[in-house]
């Protein structure tokens, strides 16, 4: 049986874009699902815009996402000679022809057509130039491009799209398109077909923006006598203004790197991306592992309608699609704690909060603390921002914590030193003992236990929100807790 092969062929003209990442993801999922291979090919035939840095950034992005490939990366430009030869073959067979029209001439015709509100298509001026003349002009070094000669026929060009169904195109809608530039560099439309054939690609999953050039490529496959692969076009992702998401309009938020920097877990982000324009057919949206997504994935679940990325510029609650954050929190809270640790370490390092002891003597303490905190965090960056007081003595008492925790009851500044003394002497220093201790004290003072817990929380974390206090204190450790309470108590004057 023929091996299933897919490909991901980005052009290296910028960072890895979330739309490209989604395309890569779907190809990868499909390949894995069917035991196939994924070809990674960098389409750099546009030398003007392609850069090595961009290629690197794309590779980095894919690696971070965990999207792996089986073949490549190949560079399309390495195969330029093969593409030229393919074009040469078409030329010899009369399936393509040299076009000597200059850019300026064509531009003029285009403008004239626009002015008269006629639709513009290449007028086939050079299609009828006799072979002898064409050869002569070529050997005289007259510049030319090579155009594909769309075969005359009454039959429309048809292909069966796995998502959109049967796409029928009238040949009159297809120009004799250019396949080789005047500088002899082949164009994408040609190179792409030649490469896909050489790489034995069986399935092409790509953005719906390629739908209209698919008939041209189908014609090329036919001209070469090659079987056409299966096409599956996927809906695009737009912003709330219904514009294509782009770095230019949306800034870094449109790049994969942004998600890496803002505390997203790679697999969680893939999980979210997969949901943009695809569904499992049941109510499942959370896929703990890639195996589960692979199992659920199928082309039938792809949506035909463009997805709108729910992001509002300038709105802090919508720095990105809130569903992305939600999915991330699901993964953050339930993934294996060992897998989460490196991400937390990285965030703490960036914030200057990391201590090497967390990898050795204090490792147990660190793991317990992370586990306690993650239950209410959404992003890995939260450990360094919201979590700051847990990892350093250098923390502020937030205003809300001061008000709701430390100033809530006038007696608090009397209670706090007593609590510190009690906790210092408590044995064992565990959840139940601490709870009993604080409840007893509350009863003695005739206040609700919440007054005491909130005060202690405010003192030891500077915050009025956080893990359950009775769980937190034993993890934090007696020494640290008592010291913090005393320090804050004395500062209350």
SS3 state of residue 457: helix
Q: Which residue has the tokens 């893990």?
A: 467
The answer to whether the bond into 428 is cis (omega within 30° of 0) is yes
Residues 355-374 that bind RNA (CB under 7 A): none
Per CB under 7 A, which region of 224-232, 234-242, 341-349, 421-429 contacts RNA? 234-242
Q: Does residue 321 touch RNA according to CB under 7 A?
A: yes
Per CB under 7 A, which region of 84-92, 132-140, 239-247, 258-266 contacts RNA? 239-247
DSSP string, 94-161: TSEEEE---HHHHHHHHHHHHHTT-------GGGG--HHHHHHHHHTT---EEEE-PPP-SSPEEEEE
Beta bridge partners of 207: 234
Beta bridge partners of 332: none
Residues 322-341 that bind RNA (CB under 7 A): 322-323, 325-326
Q: How far is the CB of 15 from RNA (least distance, A)?
A: 14
* The one among 240, 339, 357, 490 contacting RNA by CB under 7 A: 240
Per CB under 7 A, which region of 63-71, 134-142, 240-248, 406-414 contacts RNA? 240-248
Q: How far is the CB of 471 from RNA (least distance, A)?
A: 6
Q: Which is nearer to RNA, 91 or 145 (CB)?
A: 145
Q: Does residue 209 touch RNA according to CB under 7 A?
A: yes
Q: How far is the CB of 231 from RNA (least distance, A)?
A: 12
Per CB under 7 A, which region of 52-60, 114-122, 128-136, 338-346 contacts RNA? 114-122
Q: How far is the CB of 112 from RNA (least distance, A)?
A: 13
Residues 410-449 that bind RNA (CB under 7 A): 435, 449
Beta bridge partners of 17: 255
Q: Which is nearer to RNA, 254 or 354 (CB)?
A: 254
Q: How far is the CB of 448 from RNA (least distance, A)?
A: 7
- The token pair that represents 460 in the structure block: 């030891």
DSSP string, 211-278: GGGHHHHHHHHHHHTPPPPEEEEE--EE-TTSPBP-HHHHGGGGBHHHHHHTT--HHHHHHHHHHTTB
- The token pair that represents 254 in the structure block: 């449109």
User: What is the separation of C-alpha 490 from the centre of its chain, rounded to a whole number of angstroms?
Assistant: 49
Q: Does residue 462 touch RNA according to CB under 7 A?
A: no
Tell me 398's DSSP state.
P
Q: How far is the CB of 213 from RNA (least distance, A)?
A: 5
Q: Does residue 307 touch RNA according to CB under 7 A?
A: yes
Distance CA 175, CA 171 (A): 8
CA-closest candidate to residue 223, choices 259, 174, 263? 174
Residues 19-58 that bind RNA (CB under 7 A): 43, 45-46, 49
* The one among 168, 337, 425, 436 contacting RNA by CB under 7 A: 168
Active site residues: 247
Residues 267-306 that bind RNA (CB under 7 A): 275-279, 281, 283, 285, 301, 303-306
Q: Does residue 474 touch RNA according to CB under 7 A?
A: no
Q: Does residue 213 touch RNA according to CB under 7 A?
A: yes
Q: Does residue 466 touch RNA according to CB under 7 A?
A: yes
Q: Does residue 351 touch RNA according to CB under 7 A?
A: no
* The one among 167, 223, 412, 419 contacting RNA by CB under 7 A: 167
Q: In sequence order, which ranges of 304-448 are alpha helices (DSSP H)? A: 322-334, 337-350, 363-374, 388-391, 399-401, 412-425, 431-445
* The one among 35, 115, 116, 117 contacting RNA by CB under 7 A: 117
Q: Report the length, in residues, of the chain.
A: 493
SS3 state of residue 165: strand
Q: Which is nearer to RNA, 103 or 350 (CB)?
A: 103
DSSP string, 18-87: HHHHHHHHHHHHHHHHTT-EEEEEE----TTT--HHHHHHHHHHHHHHT---SEEEEEGGGGHHHHHHHH
- By CB under 7 A, the count of residues binding RNA is 90
* The one among 59, 71, 101, 367 contacting RNA by CB under 7 A: 101
Q: Does residue 450 touch RNA according to CB under 7 A?
A: yes
H-helix or E-strand containing 168? strand 165-169
Q: Does residue 120 touch RNA according to CB under 7 A?
A: yes
């Amino acid at each position: 049986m023929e091996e299933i092969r897919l490909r991901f062929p980005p052009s290296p003209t910028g960072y890895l874009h979330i739309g490209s990442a989604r395309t890569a993801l779907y190809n990868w999922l499909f390949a894995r699902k069917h035991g196939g291979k994924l070809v990674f090919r960098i389409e750099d035939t546009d030398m003007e815009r392609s850069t090595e840095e961009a290629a690197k950034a794309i590779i980095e992005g894919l690696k971070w996402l965990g999207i792996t490939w089986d073949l490549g990366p190949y560079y399309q430009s390495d195969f330029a000679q093969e593409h030229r030869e393919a074009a040469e073959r078409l030329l010899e067979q009369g399936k393509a022809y040299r076009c000597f029209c200059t850019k300026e001439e064509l531009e003029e015709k285009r403008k004239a057509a626009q002015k008269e509100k006629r639709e513009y298509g290449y007028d086939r001026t050079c299609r009828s130039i006799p072979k002898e003349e064409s050869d002569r002009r070529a050997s005289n070094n007259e510049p030319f491009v090579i155009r594909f000669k769309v075969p005359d026929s009454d039959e429309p060009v048809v292909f069966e799209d796995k998502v959109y169904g049967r796409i029928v195109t009238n040949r009159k809608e297809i120009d004799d398109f250019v396949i080789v530039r005047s500088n002899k560099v082949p164009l994408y439309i040609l190179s792409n077909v030649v490469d896909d054939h050489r790489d034995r690609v069986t399935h092409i999953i790509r953005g719906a923006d390629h739908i209209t050039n698919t008939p041209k490529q189908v014609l090329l496959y036919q001209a070469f006598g090659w079987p056409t692969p299966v096409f599956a076009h996927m809906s695009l992702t737009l912003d709330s203004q219904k514009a294509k998401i782009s770095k230019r309009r949306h800034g870094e938020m449109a790049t994969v790197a942004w998600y890496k920097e803002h505390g997203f877990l790679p697999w969680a982000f893939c999980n979210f991306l997969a949901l943009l324009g695809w569904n499992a057919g049941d109510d499942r949206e959370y896929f703990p592992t890639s195996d589960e997504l692979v199992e659920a994935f199928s082309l039938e679940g792809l949506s035909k309608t463009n997805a709108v990325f729910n992001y509002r510029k300038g709105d802090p609650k919508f720095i990105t699609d809130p569903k992305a954050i939600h999915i991330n929190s699901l993964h953050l809270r339930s993934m294996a704690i060992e897998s989460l640790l490196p991400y937390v370490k990285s965030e703490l390092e960036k914030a200057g909060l990391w201590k090497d002891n967390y990898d050795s003597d204090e490792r147990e303490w660190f793991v317990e603390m992370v586990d306690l905190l993650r239950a209410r965090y959404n992003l890995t960056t939260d450990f360094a921002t919201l979590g700051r007081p847990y990892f350093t003595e250098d923390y502020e008492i937030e205003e809300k914590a001061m008000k709701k925790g430390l100033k809530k009851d006038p007696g608090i500044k009397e209670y706090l030193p007593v609590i510190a003394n009690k906790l210092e002497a408590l044995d064992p220093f565990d959840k139940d003992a601490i709870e009993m201790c604080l409840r007893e004290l509350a009863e003695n003072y005739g206040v609700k236990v919440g007054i005491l817990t909130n005060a202690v929380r405010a003192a030891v974390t500077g915050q009025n929100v956080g893990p359950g206090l009775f769980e937190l204190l034993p993890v934090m450790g007696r020494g640290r807790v008592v010291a913090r309470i005393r320090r804050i108590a004395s500062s209350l004057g």
